[in-house]
């Protein structure tokens, strides 16, 4: 069993009441209602009500592209909340979690595997994900290789170089690692070499450019890159696809003023996608609306993978 110490933060202040139930949450948070996310602070003086809301989307290969994609939504959020909203292009998953923990990030889209880290260590409260018009949602973890690599099955990965994204990525590390070890008896850096690319996009481009023999990625990102002409799917062979996982989780920091948090939720759930760059970017993967979710229910499969791998969230 693999034990990963994903992220370590030095936190000051926070909840100290003896009746404060936390579960896996950092000691600065409370979860008195049992929903597995941090409660809004009981004392209103600990609420934040910034004049500018900072919003970030999970790290991608070209943040400037996504700043444009999100522009229409940001304007909508400004109208609903009455606040200025600024897009914050984060360069790594860890930077995103740290920015929220430090109070520099208020609203975010967090990658699937990183949601538990952000929830437990940064006070992230996810409440929505993208879905198809009929409400169906999810993406698949895929193993990919170059069309001419000679790799046709997961067994062929023995002795090869496998690209992962980061230790916190669900489809880019945790799920594929668990699968390879449990189903194929292959252990990282024993049966195959590993590399960490930092982003799904980097892993995909690394396979296309033959920097890596194979990579574990989220198929929705590959589809979007192909739709924009960044990659040619003829260069890629998919050798495995998983059952669906929940996609990027969107939410706010736990100590946002409750009235403002309600407006942020309203902004997501009332956004009209028709004719927007959001629709153009995400519709190819059947993501054309936001639907309400809960961390406790919708991330149970991700937490189960973490538990099976012995993952621990250290948020000191």
Do 82 and 131 sit in the same domain of this protein?
Answer: yes
- Dist. CA 121–CA 101, nearest whole Å: 7
Q: Summarize pLDDT for 71-120 with one digit per residue, the tens.
A: 999 999 999 999 999 999 888 888 999 999 999 999 999 999 899 999 99
- Of the candidates 17, 46, 83, 57, which has an alpha carbon nearest to the alpha carbon of residue 262? 83
156 phi and psi, to 5 degrees? -70, -5
Question: Which band of pLDDT confidence, cut at 50, 70 and 90, is reported for residue 15?
Answer: very low
Which helix (H) or strand (E) is 192 found in, with range? Answer: none
Question: Which band of pLDDT confidence, cut at 50, 70 and 90, is reported for residue 316?
Answer: low
Q: Please check whether residue 39 lies inside any domain of the structure.
A: no
Q: Which of 226, 243, 260 is the last residue of a domain?
A: 243
pTM reported for the whole predicted model: 0.76
Mean pLDDT over the full length of the chain: 89
Do 50 and 126 sit in the same domain of this protein?
Answer: yes
Do 187 and 61 sit in the same domain of this protein?
Answer: no
- Of the candidates 99, 75, 114, which has an alpha carbon nearest to the alpha carbon of residue 245? 114
Cβ(247)–Cβ(219) below 8 Å = no
- Of the candidates 30, 71, 78, which has an alpha carbon nearest to the alpha carbon of residue 52? 78
For the chain, helix (H) and strand (E) counts, in that order, are: 11, 11
Its domain, for residue 92, covers 44-135+246-309
Do 108 and 239 sit in the same domain of this protein?
Answer: no
| Cβ atoms within 10 Å, residue 234 | 8
Do 76 and 105 sit in the same domain of this protein?
Answer: yes
CATH of the domain at 69: 3.40.190.10
- Of the candidates 182, 238, 229, which has an alpha carbon nearest to the alpha carbon of residue 65? 229
Do 237 and 118 sit in the same domain of this protein?
Answer: no
pLDDT of 24 above 60: yes
């Amino acid at each position: 069993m693999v034990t990963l110490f994903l992220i370590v933060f030095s936190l000051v202040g926070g909840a100290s009441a003896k009746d404060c139930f936390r579960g896996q949450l950092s000691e600065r948070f409370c979860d008195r209602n049992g929903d597995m996310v941090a409660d809004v602070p009981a004392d209103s003086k600990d609420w934040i009500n910034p004049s500018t809301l900072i919003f970030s989307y999970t790290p991608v290969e070209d943040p400037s592209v996504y700043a444009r994609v999100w522009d229409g939504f940001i304007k909508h959020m400004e109208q609903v909340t009455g606040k200025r909203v600024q897009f914050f292009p984060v360069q790594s998953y860890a930077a995103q979690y740290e920015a929220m923990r430090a109070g520099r990030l208020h609203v975010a889209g967090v990658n699937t595997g990183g949601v538990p880290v952000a929830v437990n260590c940064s006070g992230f409260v996810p409440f929505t994900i993208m879905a198809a018009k009929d409400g169906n949602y999810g993406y698949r973890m895929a193993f990919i290789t170059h069309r001419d690599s000679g790799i046709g099955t997961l067994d062929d990965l023995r002795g090869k170089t496998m690209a992962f994204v980061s230790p916190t990525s669900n489809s880019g590390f945790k799920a594929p690692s668990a699968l390879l070890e449990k189903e194929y008896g292959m252990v990282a850096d024993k049966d195959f070499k590993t590399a960490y690319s930092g982003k799904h996009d980097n892993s995909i481009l690394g396979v296309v450019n033959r920097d890596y023999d194979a990579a574990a990625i989220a198929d929705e990102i590959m589809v979007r890159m192909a739709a924009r002409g960044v990659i040619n799917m003829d260069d890629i062979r998919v050798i495995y696809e998983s059952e669906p996982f929940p996609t990027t989780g969107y939410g706010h920091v736990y100590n946002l003023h409750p009235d403002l948090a309600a407006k942020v939720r309203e902004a997501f759930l009332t956004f009209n996608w028709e004719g927007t760059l959001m629709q153009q970017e995400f519709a190819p993967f059947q993501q054309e609306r936001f639907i309400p979710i809960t961390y406790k229910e919708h991330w149970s499969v991700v937490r189960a993978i973490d538990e099976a791998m012995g993952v621990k969230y250290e948020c000191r």
